Amino acid sequence: MTGKSGTGKTATDKTGRSSLTIVLAAGEGTRMRSSVPKVLHPVAGQSLLAHVLGAAPKGTGASLAVVIGPGHDAVTAEVKRLRPDAATFTQHERLGTAHAVLSARDAIVGGADDLVGVFGDTPRISSAKFERLRAPLKKGAALAVLGFRAADPTGYGRLLVEGGRLVAIREQADASPQERAIGLCNAGVMAFDGRQALAIIDKIGHANSKGEYYLTDAVSIVRDLGLEAVVIETSEDEVRGINTKAQLAEAEQVMQARLRKAALDAGVTMIAPETVYLAADTSFGNDVTIEPFVVIGPGVSIADGAVIHSFSHIVQASIGKHASVGPYARLRPGTSLGEGVRIGNFVETKAATLEAGAKVNHLSYIGDAHVGEGANIGAGTITCNYDGFSKHKTEIGKGAFVGTNSSLVAPVKIGNGAYIGSGSVITKNVPDDAMAVERSQQTTREGGAARYREMKTRGKTPKSG
């Protein structure tokens, strides 16, 4: 379907119209009391910005612009990581939300059927809500505003509705006592008819108590032009913005409840779901079990029949079918476990691929490593991957057996079917099917223990030999 505005852009999303979404992310987030820009703080393992960009219109005909504060290069990097097609604009001075939108003027003049403005700090917004908001534009409205009934409206812009029509938004600081009594508030998400958006926003002035260019003034301008502005209502929960760490924690709680329910609905077995932390992008196969007190960070996939035992911490890892992890395992980024792999207690892995059936059952560090099919890594094995300057790789062959308490000093290769004696410090490659033992000879003195005890009980110091 083609957009009807004649902008020349083709749209294929559910609305049938092309769109430009402008995400305002230029705020300092002073109230977060953090050196990290507000929109980069995480909820369910993803930045606030990632949640908003995930919900924003996407696909053919949906373009995206993000307005960023000066010097916030990390925000630019996050945008590029998530949506390489997005344009970024710097708002050099914070002169208000309309000024922020106009920082993306170059994108706006490109033209789209719908121009959508959203704040970067409302992580619970859903893509369905964007679609609902854009629907009235198709029917001829010039502007649609997302509104909600606030439990406590203090601080929000109030939506002034007359005869069923939205006539203005009054910011808290400029509102009369009667207007302050209004419970219907501006969520901060707006959709303009793209053909008229720039002309409307360009008319916005700064004659208000803060001297800022308020995007919300677009409503009265639309009315003065004889055009139609409408309100689409949603729940307060969905549009709650994050301004403080307390609000961040609250959003996390709500998001976790949602993710746990979705996992249970998808068939994941959780004995105590309220103790399990998931990420927004965690993916599960069939018949996965997660025991209590497991923390799963971003980028984790868990295949059919895998079991994650209690107290495990997993980030950016793929867990193969019927694998068993923990209790007390730590899987760090770049871990890939094949089918039936067993990772036991107090085992840490990083940038490590373990092929099907490999076992690391106790107390080990396997980093920058490749472990072949069916290899058995004994308790206390350490891949010594770092020499103080750079990281090196350890390769352990198929069916190899590494005895307990061995140090594998990388770069090093252990061949297929090779055997490493316990307590070895391996610094040289071991060929296939070889046995390597690196430790000093054992000395045994017959009766030595008995003589030692006798001397100690007589208060004498033992003689050597």
Map the footprint of ligand UD1 across residues 87-106, applying CB under 6 A: 91, 94-97, 99-100
Q: Which is nearer to ligand UD1, 172 or 301 (CB)?
A: 172
- 26 near ligand UD1 (CB under 6 A): yes
Out of 157, 326, 357, 415, name the contact with ligand UD1 by CB under 6 A. 157
Distance CA 104, CA 179 (A): 32
Dihedrals φ, ψ of 133, to 5°?
-70, -35
Smallest gap from Cβ 93 to ligand UD1, in A, equals: 8
Out of 21, 88, 186, 407, name the contact with ligand UD1 by CB under 6 A. 186
Contact between residue 320 and residue 338 where contact means Cβ atoms under 8 Å apart: yes
| Half-sphere exposure (Cβ direction) of 385: Cα atoms closer than 13 Å | 19
- Count of residues interacting with ligand UD1 (CB under 6 A): 25
- 169 near ligand UD1 (CB under 6 A): yes
DSSP letter string over 173-211? GG--HHHHT--EEEEEEEEEETTTHHHHHHT----STT-
Q: Which is nearer to ligand UD1, 156 or 284 (CB)?
A: 156
Q: Which is nearer to ligand UD1, 241 or 297 (CB)?
A: 241
- In sequence order, the 6+-apart residues with CB closer than 8 A to the CB of 67 are 22, 23, 24, 25, 26, 88, 89, 90, 91, 100, 101, 103, 104
Out of 3, 45, 120, 380, name the contact with ligand UD1 by CB under 6 A. 120
Q: Which is nearer to ligand UD1, 96 or 326 (CB)?
A: 96
Binding string, residues 45-84; x marks residues near ligand UD1 by CB under 6 A = ----------------------x-----------------
Which amino acid is residue 377, in one-letter code?
I
Q: Which is nearer to ligand UD1, 60 or 244 (CB)?
A: 244
Smallest gap from Cβ 67 to ligand UD1, in A, equals: 5
Beta partners for 33? none
Out of 78, 113, 114, 171, name the contact with ligand UD1 by CB under 6 A. 171
Choose one: 50-58, 116-124, 314-322, 424-432; the region binding ligand UD1 (CB under 6 A): 116-124
For tokens 């316990």, the residue is 422
Out of 20, 24, 64, 354, name the contact with ligand UD1 by CB under 6 A. 24
User: b vs e for 48-58, b when ≥16 Cβ sit within 10 Å of the residue's Cβ?
Assistant: bbbbbbbbbbb
- 192 near ligand UD1 (CB under 6 A): no
Map the footprint of ligand UD1 across residues 231-290, applying CB under 6 A: 241
Out of 7, 18, 63, 216, name the contact with ligand UD1 by CB under 6 A. 216
Q: Is 424 left (phi over 0), alpha (psi -120 to 50) or beta?
A: beta
Three-class DSSP category at 402: strand
Q: Which H or E run contains 35?
A: none
Asked whether the CA dihedral 83, 86, 89, 95 is positive or negative, the reply is negative
Smallest gap from Cβ 220 to ligand UD1, in A, equals: 13
Three-class DSSP category at 3: coil
| Residues annotated catalytic, as ranges | 362
For tokens 């249970």, the residue is 264
DSSP assigned state of 374: T
Q: Which is nearer to ligand UD1, 70 or 462 (CB)?
A: 70
| Half-sphere exposure (Cβ direction) of 291: Cα atoms closer than 13 Å | 14
Smallest gap from Cβ 162 to ligand UD1, in A, equals: 18
Smallest gap from Cβ 184 to ligand UD1, in A, equals: 10
First to last CA, the chain: 94
Smallest gap from Cβ 168 to ligand UD1, in A, equals: 11
Out of 15, 52, 116, 119, name the contact with ligand UD1 by CB under 6 A. 119
Among residues 66, 103, 231, the alpha carbon closest in space to that of 165 is found at 231
Out of 13, 113, 114, 121, name the contact with ligand UD1 by CB under 6 A. 121
Out of 27, 194, 326, 344, name the contact with ligand UD1 by CB under 6 A. 27
Which residues in this chain contact ligand UD1 in the complex, by CB under 6 A? 24, 26-27, 67, 91, 94-97, 99-100, 119-121, 156-157, 169, 171, 185-186, 188, 214-216, 241
